[in-house]
Structure 1
Amino acid sequence: MVSRARRCYQAVMGTSASPRPDVEPGPLRAAAGLMLGPAVALGLGRFAYALVLPDMRADLSWSFATAGTMNTANALGYLVGALVAARSARRFGERRMFLLSLLVTALLLAASALTGASAAVFLLRLGAGAAGAVSFVVGGGLVARAGRDSTDRTATLALGVYFAGGGAGILLSGLVVPVVLHAGGWRAAWAVIGALSALAVLAVVPVVRRLRQSAPGGRDLAAAPAELRPLIALATCYGLFGAGYIAYMTFIIALLESSGAEPGQVTAFWVLLGGAAAGAGFAWNTVLARLRPGYGTALVLAVLTTGAAIPVVWTGTAGFAVSAVLFGGSFLTVVTAVTGSVRRVLPTDRWTGAIGALTVVFALGQCAGPLLSGALSDGHGGVSAGLTIGAALLAIASVLAFVQGLRRTAD
């Protein structure tokens, strides 16, 4: 028993006495395996909260502001994780940190079933956000490096496949969580989310062990400030995107239910959104590969803004369906576009650090978004007011990306 446990630990941590030789898969194969990381970190770790939130609010008597604070906790954790991701990858190795952070995320999600105390839920959301950010940033760096010798189109597609994992996680949670909520309540839902995350971690281990290992303690992966100057405009857009999109993802289910949607309609909406997000990487691939980084980001943000604004003015079933397709089909592609910009602008050994730096700005926006939208939703405007401010922030980000589009400096 002890021997089996030791082997499992060595497999996850990459410390087996007889490691496999580093025969690295191609970028698309690597991305297809590593996409389980965003599926856990984003699809299950962050966005499934929107499905569980109405039951938690009802059972725990939370206000919208309190509910928003819990997602702010997740965003604060994401900020911390983004700050330490590159440094921890440099010290312990990217493969090891990717797997370890995913494992911690799964454990914290499962632990969310054990308590309804606001302080405890806050800390669990905080920890899950931090661990999820580390896996997300490091995984993005691994995929970008796997496609370092590929064409722009192939590398962009690989990034799209990787980030589509978030959509796959949303799709999975939409199929499973409502059923579990109906049968066993929000505690059972968190337990199942944690179990699904743990299974994903086990499934991704063989893929990670085939990737080329970065040497712990090697060259610093952090991006120097001077090298990040071409990314300043994009970073500003990314922060506004973080604040705007999270308002939608936190409260759209609450708006659906307040509009009289039945549980089956809520499930259908979430599955449609997740399915659109999972397929977005393929749909946007050619467009992003041909456009300059800033212009590609502006176009994706424009579609996202439209999807975010629709439920505010069109609350019928058709309106929600169109919103799900447009929003779901673009919000993760913003991340793809931003990461693709890093690949074009900076040298290979700076990618993980630059992705981490941009993720810090993104996380700052996510911290502000739920608090602002939650406070507005508690006012006279209701949840629609919070969604409106989110759409406005996304619109500003789109305009800024277009006006201050990045100059393509490297191919």
Structure 2
Amino acid sequence: MADLLGLHDHKPWGTVIVQPGRIFMASTKPTNPWLILLGLALGVSVSNAFGRFAYGLILPSMKSSLGWSLTQSGWLNTANSIGYIMGSILTLLLIRHFSPSRLFAGGTVATALCLLLTGFDESLVFQTACRTLVGLFGALSFVSGGVLAASLFQSCARRNALAIALYFGGGGGLGIALCGATLPAMLDVFGPQSWDWAWIGIGLAALAICPFSIWASTSLSETKHDAALPSLPPVRRMFGQLGGYALFGMGYIVYVTFISVWMKEQHSSVLLTTATWMALGFSIMASPFVWRGILARFASGTPMALILTGVAFGSALPILVPNGYGLIMSAFVFGLSVFMPPTAVTSFVRQNVDQQDWGATISFFTVVFAISQALGPIGAGVIGDITGEIGDSLIVASAVLLVGALCAVTQKPLKLGLA
């Protein structure tokens, strides 16, 4: 999801964004930091909400109109995840030579253009290319925007932590709520064959956001300082947290990709689909405030284990309680947890690893997450095609997430004296 610093610290630590071989420190004091944060967060609406989550809303119409199997449907979000892997690595390389402001602006605009292009050709090859590029440029925007968000409120650690948390969940949650409020009704009125216009509409909305997000990014500038090369991350001592994060990537993406397909198979109403996705978006926006205390309290894998248990429960609820109440509850539970594992990772790293190694360690976690995330959608599609029920894939994903929680709960603090 992102290569950011954590959610909370016990003492003021300033704003230092660590990347392998570099440290970025903000060199400006913006006059409207909350407005700038809003612009950056809207960039997350483009890169994550529009770029990744909206596909789950449009997929039932695409699958119906184009005659795709569940495996083909899952493949396109796997392609998006492959693009995210490429984009994460590319960002780590480019950020040594270009300012995060330029990378964020370029990534956001490119993501918006690729979303727009998705509506112009129905072939699987073209759709694969678009989904891959959306993932690549979305990662460029998301990671760079995180660096910029972390440069806000330098003199107040609590506000700085809140800014990072709101960047994670605020923009993504708002974008998901907006998609949920508009796309189901539009596709119901104009029919599933209008899926191409849904993408064109999303692309135009993303392009409309771009000027504000670009202004926000260019309102901040950074200076580069050489830093000592980091040592190798203590991977062997972090297997619990690493395993939990990897299985999170594999499991959560199944719900995001296929919940609307399952709802269509259950003949859910447009109103219920809209309410479910809006509940998902608003609960994601609230999630930083729910988890910040737990993340601050523990230096072990306990926060990750609790979060993954929430994601697992939310994934299984539609199958366990197959009615409207179960769907709405699943959206709330899933949304309150799904954006928090990256923050749990960064909080764990900041409390257990020396500062000069933060960047390398979090980058390692990010790559492992991105790889495992790519396996989830196509794997779920294959299971659904074999069993004939995509609901079976949601149950399997829930089990994968619970195994991830068990892995995480075994993780002990790396430093003595930490709870």
TM class by smaller structure: 0.7 to 0.9
CA spacing shift, 1:26–1:202, aligned 2, 3 Å: closer
User: 1:205 and 2:214 equivalent?
Assistant: yes
Report if the CA contact (8 A) 1:24-1:212 is conserved.
no
- Which residue number corresponds to residue 5 of structure 1? none
Structure 2: gaps (5+ residues): 1-26
> Map of 1:243-392 to 2, 5 A cutoff?
243-292=250-299, 294-346=301-353, 351=358, 354-380=361-387, 382-392=389-399
Equivalence for 2:11: none
User: Structure 1 residues 364 and 343, CA, compared in 2 at 3 Å: closer, same or farther?
Assistant: same
1:45 aligns with 2:47: no
Q: Shift of the alpha carbon at 1:226?
A: 3.6
Cα offset for 1:179? 3.1
The residue aligned with 1:77 is 83
Q: Deviations over 1:228-262 (max 9, x none)?
A: 66655423221110100001111111111111201
Say yes or no: does 1:142 pair with 2:151.
no
The CA deviation string for residues 211-242 of structure 1, in whole angstroms up to 9 with x for no partner, is: 23144xx6379854246666554232211101
Is structure 2 residue 88 aligned with structure 1 residue 102? no
Residue matched to 1:11:
none
Kept in 1, the 8 Å contact 2:352–2:413? The answer is no
Distance of aligned partners of 1:101 and 1:82 in 2 relative to their CA distance in 1, 3 Å threshold: same
Residue 344 of structure 1 and its aligned partner are, at CA, apart by 3.7
Look up the match of 2:9.
Answer: none
Partner deviation per Cα, 1:267-317 (whole Å, 9 max, x = no partner): 111111111111111222222222225222221111111111111221111
Tell me what 2:162 maps to.
157
Could you tell me whether the CA contact under 8 Å between 2:40 and 2:167 is conserved in 1? yes
Q: Which has the higher helix share?
A: 1
Question: What SS does the corresponding residue of 1:109 show, helix, strand or coil?
Answer: helix
Gaps spanning 5+ residues in structure 1: where? Answer: 1-20
**Aligned partners of 2:416, 2:51: CA distance in 1, in Å?**
35
Residue 172 of structure 2 contacts residue 285 of structure 2 at CA under 8 Å; is this kept in 1?
yes
Instruction: Give the 3-state SS of the residue equivalent to 2:96 in structure 1.
Output: helix
Structure 1: distance between partners of 2:407 and 2:322: 29
The whole-number CA distance in structure 2 between the counterparts of 1:221 and 1:259 is 56
Residues 86 and 138 in structure 1, CA contact (< 8 A), matched pair in contact too: no
Cα separation, partners in 2 of 1:176 and 1:134, compared to 1, 3 Å: same
Match of 1:175 in 2: 181
Q: Alignment partner of 2:29: what SS?
A: coil
Among residues 114, 133, 139, which one is paired with 2:139 in the alignment?
133
TM-score, reference length from structure 2: 0.85
Q: Give the superposition deviation at 1:92.
A: 1.1
Shift in alpha-carbon separation, 1:265–1:202, aligned structure 2, 3 A:
same
Q: Name the CA shift for 1:327/1:407 in 2 (closer, same or farther; >3 Å).
A: same
Q: TM-score scaled by structure 1?
A: 0.87
Distance 2:245 2:228 in 1: 21
Letter in 2 for 1:253: S
Amino acid paired to 2:393 = G
Which residue matches 2:20?
none
TM-superposed CA distance for 1:368, in Å, is: 0.6
